[in-house]
Amino acid sequence: MLLALDVGNTNIVIGIFENENLKTHYRLSTTLNRTVDEYGQQIMGFLSYSGVNYKNVDDVIISNVVPPITETLRDMAKKYFRSDALFVGPGVKIGMNLKYENPKEIGADRIVNAVAAISLYKSPLIVVDFGTATTFCAINDKSEYLGGVIAPGIGISIEALFRAAAKLSRVEVRKPQNLIGRNTIESMQSGIYYGFVGQVDEIANRIKKELGANTRVIATGGFASLIALDSTTIDEVQPLLTLEGLRLIYNKNRGSSSQNIS
């Protein structure tokens, strides 16, 4: 079995693969001061709860955008799973040509998402990831990674609004019943929801002008399903796209040759 970790600034998504099948997945918060044993015990607890024997885990692959916890995760994989974990980064085979000026600047999660999207769909593609930041990745009809757009995520935008405006409180992110809010909470929910729907559609449509009208838009991340309710550009929602990309990259690094990140 393969243990896959998608480490974001806010959450870590954990998946267990048996061959090509995702058996189970789990989400926990990303904490900088969590120790090797704390991460190990939390993951072991998840496996036990899911009925997975940790001894059946053969290897570990990690996509990490939080450098301060890299060594903690590396040591955790060695101690608890006897694995020299494969981290997505320079030197790892990904099977995709990168047209970015400096490929080392691309977040590992964006690379992994693109690999999965190319495998599942025909390019050209736009991959929208609703994480701590909302990212848009552009893939041309040759399946080359061109670059993209990075915008503030929904969660941090709400937090900034709450902290900067004394009379505004934190609100649940959901689709409002009416566009015109009749109270402060409804007004905020409408602004957040339709504001991000509009942001996604505007940016996606502008990227489509460069990639072509036949470009498909694939959404992933925590708010993907919600925003897709009213988006006119999102074609598919794949909540666990990153885990699938990790599985594919792991397989590429067990023998087949492909383009390295350099």
Active site residues: 109
Q: What b/e string do you get for 40-71 counting C-beta neighbours within 10 Å, with b at 16 or more?
A: bebbbebbeeeebebeebebbbbbbbbeebee
Tell me how far apart the alpha carbons of residues 104 and 99 are, in angstroms, rounded to a whole number. Answer: 12
How many other CB atoms sit within 10 Å of the CB of residue 223? Answer: 22
Say whether 33 sits in a helix, a strand or coil: coil
Determine the angle formed by the axes of helices 241-252 and 108-120, rounding to 10 degrees: 90
The strand pair at 125-130 and 86-87 is best described as unpaired
DSSP state of 5: E
Any idea what DSSP says for residue 259? P
Cα three-residue angle 94-88-218, rounded to 5 degrees: 65
Dihedral sign (CA 55, 14, 105, 245): positive
Q: Is 196 helix (H, G, I), strand (E, B) or coil?
A: helix
| Other C-beta atoms lying within 10 Å of the C-beta of residue 193 | 21
Sheet containing strand 125-130, strands side by side: 145-152, 133-139, 125-130, 216-221, 236-237
